[in-house]
Amino acid sequence: MFWFPRQEYSNLTKDTGSSRGRGVRAANWFAEYVEGQKDMIMKSLVLEGGIKGWATAGKDYTQLMDEYDELKWVK
């Protein structure tokens, strides 16, 4: 089970026809796989703002990232 500091993720599955990027497409593919496996527990989620949004959202988030280096995320 994953713990998220705040609920800043979306459950984007078949309701959206959007192809806003690789993350959304990959999440949709995984959601279809999970559905095909009849898994009622696992969910496919998309981070709002992507990994960049997560990495710049503060210590609550970055402490969950392996090998986080602030210099690589700050502009």
Q: What is the DSSP string of 38-64?
A: T-SS----EETTHHHHHHTS-HHHHTT
Written as one letter, the residue type at 61 is Y
Which of the pair, 52 or 6, is modelled with greater confidence? Answer: 52
Asked if the structure places residue 47 within a domain, the reply is yes
Report the candidate in 63, 14, 21 with the shortest Cα–Cα distance to residue 36.
14
Q: Which domain holds residue 41?
A: 9-72
CA dist 41 and 26 (Å) reads 19
In a domain, 2, yes or no: no
| Site of tokens 């710049």 | 56
Mean pLDDT of the chain: 78
Q: Is residue 37 part of a domain?
A: yes
Give the chain's domain count.
1
Look at 17 and 36; give whichever has higher pLDDT.
36
- Does any domain span residue 17? yes
pLDDT tens-digit series, residues 44-69: 888 878 888 889 888 998 999 999 99
Residue 21 has a pLDDT of 79
